[in-house]
Structure 1
Amino acid sequence: MDLQLYHRPDCPFCWKLRIGMAELGLKAQEIRTRLGEKHPDVIRLSPKGTVPVLVDLVSDVVIWESSVALEYINDRTGGALLSADPVMRARARLIASYSDSVVGTALRDIIFEKRSKPEAEWDTARIAEGVERWRTMCDRLEDWLGPDSYFAGDFSIADCALLARFGLAEAYGAPVTAAHPNLQRWFTTNRNRASYRSTIPQNFPGVD
C-alpha cells in the first residue's frame, strides 16, 4: 500500500491510527500538522477539515474518519486487528467507539485547560471535575477488561484507541493508578509494545 497520512502527533484519533499502522507493519508518507493549524490539503481532502486524513494513493481512496481508516487498513492487510468471532468484533468496535466519544470527553477538560493556559491560570476546579469523570470511565473499563490481556480477545482496534487515550491521560497528569489494577496491568504491558513506543508524540502541548 502506498499511503499518505495527514496527522497531528498528539491528536488521539491520529495516534490510534498510527498505532494500528505500526501493528500492521504499514508506513506512510507523513504530513504533520500543528495544533490550531488549518492545513490547506486537509481542508481540501476532508469535509470535516480535521485530521487524520489517510490517502491510499494506489486505490485513490481518501478517508477522513479515524475509525474507518483503521478498519480500512486492517481489511486491506488481512484483518489482524479484529477477531474472526462476530461477538469479539462487535465488542472491539463498541469499546473503540466508547474510547473516541465518552472517554475522550472525560479527558477533554483536563487536556484543554492545561494545554491552552500557563499553569498559574489553570482552572483547577475544571481539572478536578475532569479527573473525576476520567476515574468514573476507568471504573467501567476496569470491569470490562477484567483479568484479560486485551479488551476484545486479541490486541484489536479497541486497544489501539484506548492506548492513545491512556497515553494522553498520563502525559496530562491523570495516570491510571492502583485503584484500577486491571487497567494498570494492561497499560503497563501494552505501552511496551513497539507500536506504542514508536508512535508516542515527542511532546504534548502545554506539558514541559
Structure 2
Amino acid sequence: MPPVSAALLAQILAAGLAGMSLEGITPEQRVLLLNYLLLLQRWNATHNLTAVRDPRDMIPRHILDSLAVLPFLEPGLVVDIGSGAGLPGIPLAICRPAQDFTLVEPAAKRVAFLRSVVAELGLTNVQIAPLTSEHYQPEILPDRIISRATAPLARLDQMTSHLQGPHNQVLALKGPGVEEELADWPRAASLDIRCHDLHIPDQPSRKLLIWRSPVQMP
C-alpha cells in the first residue's frame, strides 16, 4: 500500500469531526489522534491488531467511531473492557485529558502496543490492566464501564457484573444485530436502557446503549 500523506489524513479527520459536530477537539489533540493512528498502522503490519489496514479507513471506522461516544461520556474514571488496540479508550483519553482511563486487555501483544502508545504519546491519564475483565478487581468501582464490540450484550453484562453498581454506567457501542442481542439478554427487561443513534460520516449506523444496574450485582 502506498504511503498516505499526513496532510490528507488530517483533512479526512477534520472533515469527519466537523460532520459529527466535534470541532472543539483541539489541534494538539488532533495531532495525537493521528500519531496514534500511525502507531496502529505500524504495529499492525507485524502484529495484526486490526483488520483495517488503510489509515484512511481507520479514521472513520476506529477514530471517529470511538469519538462518537464523547457527547454521552460523563465525568469520572472510565474502564475500557476488552480494549484491544485501545478502542475506544485511547481516542477518548486523548480528547479528555482531565479524565482517567483504565484499559483492560489480556492479550500480550495488544498490551505491549498499548504501553507503547501511552509512552510515545505521553498519555498520563491512561493506565493499562493486563487482565481479563473477570480478573480485573479494582478496590473502587469505576464510574463508567465502556465496551466497543467486545462481546454480545448478555456476555458483556456477565463479564462486568462485579464492576456494575447503582452509581456507575455501562456504555456499549453496537452495530447491526443489537435487537437480537437484546432479545437474547433476559436481564435487559429489568433495566432502563437508553439507546442512542450514533452518526459517523460514510459509515453504517451505530448505536450506543447505556444502562445502570439498580444494585451492585453479585
TM bucket by the smaller chain?
0.3 to 0.5
Q: Normalising to structure 1: TM-score of the pair?
A: 0.33
Q: Normalising to structure 2: TM-score of the pair?
A: 0.32
Q: Which has the higher contact order (CA 8 A, sep 6+)?
A: 1
Structure showing the higher helix proportion among its residues: 1
Structure showing the higher strand proportion among its residues: 2
